[in-house]
Amino acid sequence: MVKTVMVIDDEPDLREMLGVLLKSNGYNVVSAANGKDALKTLKKLDQKPDLVMVDMFMPEMSGREVCEKIRNDENLKDLKLAFLTVAAFGEYGKQMLKELDVLDYILKPYDIDDLIRRINKMLET
């Protein structure tokens, strides 16, 4: 069965590039430009994505807020989550990942081979 990855990023070029990359590696892709659109889309989907990749720094609603809303929603709380970010996390950030049950965080700009390897690993668990 083909796995679906949702990409939430406010930068259209990054969203598109990641979508093309994921599709070329055999994944279905759903995308959203911000947290509000992402949450609306998640609630409408018949089939929930196998992984949700969330940009950490977005206007209006941060990636952390998106993840908190997902974890507090009875129908979405079990989704696999990963952060996309330009910032390396210190101890506080790593603790936040643990609290939100985020599987991984991937630094931008991406190393394509590493990105695909890590996505494959998250989808195996």
104 forms bridges with which residues in the sheet?
82
Cis peptide before 49 (omega within 30 of 0): no
Task: For the chain, give every domain's residue range.
Answer: 4-124
pLDDT at 8 over 90: yes
In angstroms, the CA 36 to CA 22 distance is: 23
Class of domain 4-124: alpha beta
Q: Quick one: pLDDT at residue 79?
A: 98
Please indicate whether residue 125 or residue 10 has the higher confidence score (pLDDT).
10
In angstroms, the CA 107 to CA 83 distance is: 8
pLDDT of 46-84, one tens digit each?
999 999 999 999 999 999 999 999 999 999 999 999 999
Residues 13, 16, 18: CA angle, nearest 5 degrees:
105
56 SS3 class:
coil
The model carries a pTM of: 0.94
CB 64 within 8 A of CB 96: yes
pLDDT of 86-124, one tens digit each?
877 778 778 888 899 999 999 988 899 999 999 999 999
